[in-house]
Amino acid sequence: MERGVRLLVSMGSVAILVSSCAGGAEEQPSTPSPEAAEQTDRDVEPEELLAEMSLEEKVGQLFVPYTYGESATTENAADVSANQAAYGVDNAAELIETYNVGGIIYFDWSGNFASGSPEQVASLSNGLQDAALSQPNGIPLIISVDQEGGPVTRIGEPVTQFPDAATLGATEDTALAEEAAAVGARELRAMGINQNYAPVGDVQITDDNPAIDQRSFGDDPGLVAEMTAAQVRGIQGENVAASVKHFPGHGNTDVDSHFGVPVVDHDRSQWEELDAPPFTAAIDEEVDSVLVGHLVYPELDSTETPATLSEPIISGMLRDEMGFDGVVVTDALDMEGVRESYSDDEVAVLAIQAGVDQLLQPPSGEFVTQYEAVLDAVAEGELTEERVDESVLRILTLKKELGLFEDPFADEAAVSDVVGIPEHQDVADRAAGTGNPG
C-alpha cells in the first residue's frame, strides 16, 4: 500500500517551556543538537546499517519500553527515582544512550503527558529523537502509543477524541472508519508519534469479555474485517505505522490477559471462520505491524504455549501461512498472561525464538534482565545472531518506510494547526453519531 504524503517537519521551531511534574520548568530543545542534525536527511540502506551494528546495539533495537517524565532529559525527582528503579538510569535520554532501545511507548501514568499540551508531547518526542540520533549509529526511534479511541485513549483533549470501536462499528461505514483513523494518525504524527497500536481486530464473540468488549468493531467477522482494513488504510495513509491486535484473536475469552491466561477453545476451522478474517484483511492492506496477544489456543499449538511465545502460531501461521513479513510485536510483557508460567528472562528469549521482532513494555525493574537474557541466549547458542538480525532488519526497514532516517522530528510551532482543529472534531462527532452526516 502506498503511503500518504509525509508530514515533513521544520527543524527551526521556537523553544518552549513545559512544566515538570513537581511544578518546576524544563526547557526542551526544539531544534536538533549538532550530532542529531548530522543524522537527518539520510538515504539509509537497512542491510548496510545492520552490518555495522554490534550485537548489543541490535538487541537494544528489539525493545520498546516506557520511561517516566514529560521530557527526555527530565530532572524531576520523582521521575528520576522511577527511571532508576525501572532501568538504572535517570531519564529516557540516558536509557537510549546506554541500551540503544528501538522504541518508546507513551503513557499518561508514566508522566509523558503531564502538562496536557500537544506541544509538550511534540517536545518530548523531539527530545527522544535527538537522543537517539546523537548516538554513534544514529538510529531514530519508533515512538508509539495506544490511541484506539474510547476507553483506550492515552492522550486526552485537546487532542481529538474518538469513540470506541463498537460505536464506530455500529455505523458500518468503512469510509468514516478510514477517515477517523486518518485524523487520529495525523494528530499523532504532528506530535512526533509514528506508531499506533491500533486497530483492534478482535471479533466480539462473547459478551462476557472483560478485555475487549467495546474495543471491538462488533460480532460479525466480515464487518470487523472491513472496518479493520479501513483503519489500517487511514492510519498508514498518514505515515504512521498501524499495529493490528490481538493476534490470533482475543474476542472469545472471559479472562483479561492483563490478569490471567485466556484460553480459546476454537479449533482451526472455527478460528479461520471467526477470528482470522480481520487479520487477513489487515495483512492484505500491508499492515506494518501485528501485535500478538498472550492467548492460549490449544488447537493451534498443542503445547498450550501463549501465542506471544508460540513458534507454531507466529512463525508457522502468521508468517508462513498468512504471508506476513512485517514487524511482529508482543503485547505488554508486564501482563500476567505471559508471566504466570514463565520467568521474565525466559519470556524475552522464547518470544524472539518464536518469531517476535519487538518486545513491548518489559516489566518494571526487569528490562535489564530481559536485555541481558537475549545477549546471553546468543552467547550460549539458544538464539543465533542471524535470528536477531532478521528482526532488526524488519525494524530498520519500517523506520526507513516511515521516513524517520530523513527527518523524525515534529514541528512544535505547527502542532496547534493540526491537533484538535474544528475539522477534526467534525469527523469525531460523525464517528460518535452526533455530527452532521454531510
Domain interval for residue 409: 16-431
How confident is the model at residue 252, as a pLDDT? 87
Confidence at 12, pLDDT banded by 50, 70, 90: very low
Is 188 a domain residue?
yes
Question: Which residues touch 97 (CB under 8 Å, ≥6 apart)?
Answer: 131, 134, 135
How confident is the model at residue 437, as a pLDDT? 62
CA distance 314 to 248: 9
How confident is the model at residue 327, as a pLDDT? 98
How confident is the model at residue 10, as a pLDDT? 32
Is 374 a domain residue?
yes
Confidence at 432, pLDDT banded by 50, 70, 90: very high
Amino acid at site 251:
G
Is 350 a domain residue?
yes
For 289, the grid coordinates are: 505491524
Is 4 a domain residue?
no
Answer whether 340's CB lies under 8 Å from 261's CB: yes
- Is there a catalytic annotation at residue 331? yes
Q: What is the CATH number for 416? A: 3.20.20.300
Give the CA dihedral 118, 237, 102, 11, nearest 10 degrees: -50
33 pLDDT higher than 90: no
110-141 pLDDT, tens digit per residue, is 999 988 899 999 999 999 999 999 999 999 99
Confidence at 48, pLDDT banded by 50, 70, 90: very high
How confident is the model at residue 339, as a pLDDT? 93
Question: Which residues touch 84 (CB under 8 Å, ≥6 apart)?
Answer: 90
Within 10 A of 256 (CB to CB), how many other CB atoms are there? 16
Given 164, 202, 301, 331, which residue is catalytic? 331
Which residue matches cell numbers 502460531? Answer: 313
Mean pLDDT over 159-171 rounds to: 97
35 pLDDT higher than 80: no
Is 1 a domain residue?
no
Least confident of 4-18, 214-228, 322-336: 4-18
8 pLDDT higher than 80: no
Confidence at 190, pLDDT banded by 50, 70, 90: very high
| Residues of the chain above pLDDT 90, percent | 84
How confident is the model at residue 438, as a pLDDT? 53
Mean pLDDT over 202-207 rounds to: 90
Is 203 a domain residue?
yes
256-286 pLDDT, tens digit per residue, is 889 889 999 999 999 999 999 999 999 999 9
Answer whether 65's CB lies under 8 Å from 361's CB: yes
At residue 395, the 3 state secondary structure works out as helix
How confident is the model at residue 436, as a pLDDT? 66
CA distance 132 to 129: 5
308-342 pLDDT, tens digit per residue, is 999 999 999 999 999 999 999 999 999 998 999 99
62-99 pLDDT, tens digit per residue, is 999 999 999 999 999 999 999 999 999 999 999 999 99
Mean pLDDT over 225-251 rounds to: 97
Answer whether 299's CB lies under 8 Å from 313's CB: no
How confident is the model at residue 255, as a pLDDT? 81
410-419 pLDDT, tens digit per residue, is 999 999 999 9
| Residues of the chain above pLDDT 70, percent | 92
Is 352 a domain residue?
yes
**Bigger pLDDT: 92 vs 19:** 92
Average pLDDT along the chain: 92
Mean pLDDT over 373-388 rounds to: 98
Least confident of 27-36, 116-125, 295-304: 27-36
Is 8 a domain residue?
no
Burial of residue 386 (CB within 10 Å: 0-12, 13-18, 19+) is: exposed
Report how many domains make up the chain: 1
What's the whole-model pTM score? 0.91
